Structure 1
């Protein structure tokens, strides 16, 4: 670090303490004050950046910065999002917006909502750009910083930024958003640190299953009440998951890590063309992350019935969250759900859907630039590999204006740190976060 790490950490903690909890879309009374406070704090904390970059407020609270380079063509876009998911404070060991540091040195942990998802990346980007501006650095090509304000509720902040860039004819050569990280032990047999870089992400659907009846008093229930029909449909959907398959990026991931695999899995990964079908059947038994890599998933997340304990439900409804593997579509998934449920009295309604993203290449200049920054900042021993992003991100909107959209958060995360995302005790280690700043600096210098 060319600037004191302690000062960077102070700025990080100050921004983590601002509770920019996502505002549900369409709520006119949503409080945007924390987002205004965050915007003002960023301007105050990073004066060099704001002196050199042009800033626009888009869609109410999203931020778009332009750093003019020697050439405006084929710019770099660095993304992150300002909003964080809500907290249940009683479940946390510490104040979720206290940004308390626990421990000392590189292994010290900063505990806060947003430490990883996604203010960790956002503030690391700000630190990298502000430091380079202070040094007098000018990028070879334009750089855009795109910070959406409602990613966690699939809002329109990033979409509005994309529309602004599209109208101006901006066609990025590389877009980088949150996504995979540097992990160890996530892939069976692979003990080397692996940088899993998302080259695509799964689509997202919400499907409502609804069973209806006349209602009435619970003392005289019908032979087949709506709740029983709905429960039967939910059970059928659970017992018959989507089929497994290896999509090209996942196949490439195992080919990439094969030389670094120990034990009997090394020849299995090395001959993935032959063993792929068997592996796709085995992986769901090895954990939820591997299961999600090889199939479209569908899980019931909400259930609703009658308004009272002694009232028959006039309708019973289940919400199903579906994540589409590339190659599947919202239409094909809905059709399969109807076939599996096999009950015309249960309505299947697609409430919302976005298709899987296009797949970005894992060869060529954009990919090579990511790989080079990974090696220089995160370690020569880190193995970069393509990967399917399991969750959704704002980056999917940028596929409209770029063929090179990637999803990678440049932090070394343990399993426990990954499991804390959207849960309690979210945290990041100090050394991991500081190395992330170096990644963004090296990425900016490379282009």
Structure 2
């Protein structure tokens, strides 16, 4: 799961504004005012209780199949049928592979369908300092605590709360609605790929796809008051590369200069000192333009001319903080180091794992080539590990699908500015880009910086109010598609 980023430091650009520059026009704001979403009939406390129950089922992902508690995953799937009986009576449900769920809610027409996505696997909690049992599903002071509260069981519950309420009132959507719930998103699994394969085999091309991603945040842009709802249009690529150096080894009492660990360290230092270049892209330009319309005075002028000031703005963002930096460049993170197994033995092999997130406009191949150039040492082997992917295509933001999602966000959060967004992480929805040009990534929750920081970390939580409004967003969307 994937957290939106913050922009900061942009005020320094105000003096550089040119009076004749044109505006970014590819991405449009949400449009005219919409009626606020109706939350009547949605049981906030009931939804919180159901989410708490599902948190208590520890559906923890692992890349090692033998380490997965398959009984917990099966129990989760069974409990869904019990918590949402009307949904399961009205919708067709099938299981794909080991546990991905695919539901079909038949609509009144044969128009292309809407796909709503979520995943019910969660990341481990080992090594984290939780203040509460992460799988107790505690509800305290209007907050649901536990692993998966936001990522991503909270979104799954918001979807099912909306569908259950609509089915109960006898509503039938205009177009088919499919629910695609993955069981292995956190380990880059195959559940979503199986769903895409099923759609392809059946000749189904979705009208739009909506998955986790951006959220409703406050303080995202300097000078922009209130909330900003960021809707992801694309996501960066991903790649893991292993750096390997070798040496003859021997006793640690007689080392030689330039051993395997030293050469590995030089390679890592070179990559750290020579990051990938910072460049603006269309999605970030659209985000800056949409949100910047609401900034005061000089800042508004800066944002309005972001296309002309792109190179300068890219450099400012690169220095504005780790998350803003990730918007404008390919990032390289050293996540693992390995050397000798003994304290008094020279390493015959030294290894480092690089976790890389590839910027729009670059590819796996171009990324690997630049790594080689920067390292500049043929004795450092680069092993490209399986599972890499180029950045996703950029989804359309000039069509009815985006306008409908943006309008639903505005209905649920009337005071929010709606803006496009670039996800710096990966999601299951990237697979649907193969069959749909309108894949959006938006988690309809109003979350604080502290709550975002708890994703994949200790003390993950979501307020009952945010969960309630998220269900309102989904229900409003379903009524309007």
User: Residues 354, 389 of structure 1: CA spacing in aligned structure 2 closer, same or farther, 3 A cutoff?
Assistant: same
For residue 174 of structure 1, the aligned residue among 201, 208, 211 is 208
Contact (CA 8 Å) 2:145, 2:460: kept in 1 or not?
yes
**Partner secondary structure for residue 349 of structure 1:** strand
Query: Distance in 2 between the 1:3 and 1:383 partners?
Result: 25
Deviation readout 1:12-53 (Å, 9 max, x if unpaired): 11011111101315x346321111010000011111000000
What is residue 163 of structure 2 aligned with on the other side?
A: 129
What is residue 19 of structure 2 aligned with on the other side?
A: none
For residue 74 of structure 2, the aligned residue among 25, 28, 36 is 36
Query: Distance in 2 between the 1:197 and 1:214 partners?
Result: 53
Contact (CA 8 Å) 1:73, 1:171: kept in 2 or not?
no
Is the deviation greater in 64-73 or in 336-345?
Answer: 64-73
CA RMSD across the alignment: 1.2
Contact (CA 8 Å) 2:150, 2:462: kept in 1 or not?
yes
Q: How does 1:24-423 map to 2 (within 5 A)?
A: 24=63, 27-28=65-66, 30-88=68-126, 91-103=129-141, 108-262=142-296, 264-352=298-386, 353-379=388-414, 381-423=415-457
User: Residues 199, 417 of structure 1: CA spacing in aligned structure 2 closer, same or farther, 3 A cutoff?
Assistant: same
Relative CO higher for 1 or 2, CA cutoff 8 Å, sep ≥ 6? 2
Query: Distance in 2 between the 1:211 and 1:218 partners?
Result: 17
What is residue 31 of structure 2 aligned with on the other side?
A: none
Report deviation, 1:278. Answer: 0.5
For residue 6 of structure 1, the aligned residue among 45, 57, 65 is 45
Query: Distance in 2 between the 1:28 and 1:11 partners?
Result: 29
Contact (CA 8 Å) 1:377, 1:436: kept in 2 or not?
yes
Report deviation, 1:438. Answer: 0.3
Query: Distance in 2 between the 1:87 and 1:169 partners?
Result: 40
> TM-score with structure 2 length normalisation?
0.90
Task: Tell me the matched-pair count.
Answer: 441
Deviation readout 1:318-346 (Å, 9 max, x if unpaired): 00011011100000000001101111110
Query: Distance in 2 between the 1:183 and 1:3 partners?
Result: 23
Contact (CA 8 Å) 2:287, 2:420: kept in 1 or not?
yes
**Partner secondary structure for residue 211 of structure 1:** strand
Deviation readout 1:101-139 (Å, 9 max, x if unpaired): 221xxxx22111111110110011011001101110000
> TM-score with structure 1 length normalisation?
0.96
Bigger strand share = 1
Contact (CA 8 Å) 1:89, 1:95: kept in 2 or not?
no
**Partner secondary structure for residue 261 of structure 1:** coil
Query: Distance in 2 between the 1:272 and 1:30 partners?
Result: 47
Report deviation, 1:59. Answer: 1.2
Query: Distance in 1 between the 2:468 and 2:67 partners?
Result: 38
